[in-house]
Amino acid sequence: MSRRRRAEKRVPVPDPRYNSPLVSNLINMVMRCGKKSIAQNIVYGAFELVAEKLEKGDPIDLILGALENIRPRLEVKSRRVGGATYQVP
């Protein structure tokens, strides 16, 4: 057991254009070598292309829907029974 106090979770800063921490996280994942402005241009450009294709709706809603589709519907844990390991929901 560590005697130090636990580190506090940092709240992600929302991005300036959409005011969304999800978009800020996406920008940070696209970013290479600390070039945040280039990553912002890439992400915002992609959002503009998506908005043109959709004509209605927000690109943020599309991103949220995509994340909902790729999220696992059920979590499983490993349980050992005898010599076999089973994945149990």
- For residue 32, the domain's CATH number is 1.10.455.10
Q: Could you tell me the residue range of the domain that residue 84 belongs to?
A: 21-88
Q: Is residue 16 part of a domain?
A: no
In-domain check, residue 60: yes
Rounded distance, CA 48 to CA 59, Å? 8
Query: Is residue 73 situated within a structural domain?
Result: yes
Q: Any idea which residue has 């519907």 for tokens?
A: 73
Burial of 23 (0-12, 13-18, 19+ CB in 10 A): buried
According to DSSP, residue 81 is labeled E
5 lies in some domain = no
Domain count, the chain: 1
Q: Chunk the chain into consecutive blocks of 10 residues (it has 89) and report each block's average pLDDT, rounded to whole numbers.
A: 86 90 93 95 93 84 89 89 89
State whether residue 38 is helix, strand or coil. Answer: helix
Residue 45 covered by a domain: yes
pTM of the model: 0.72
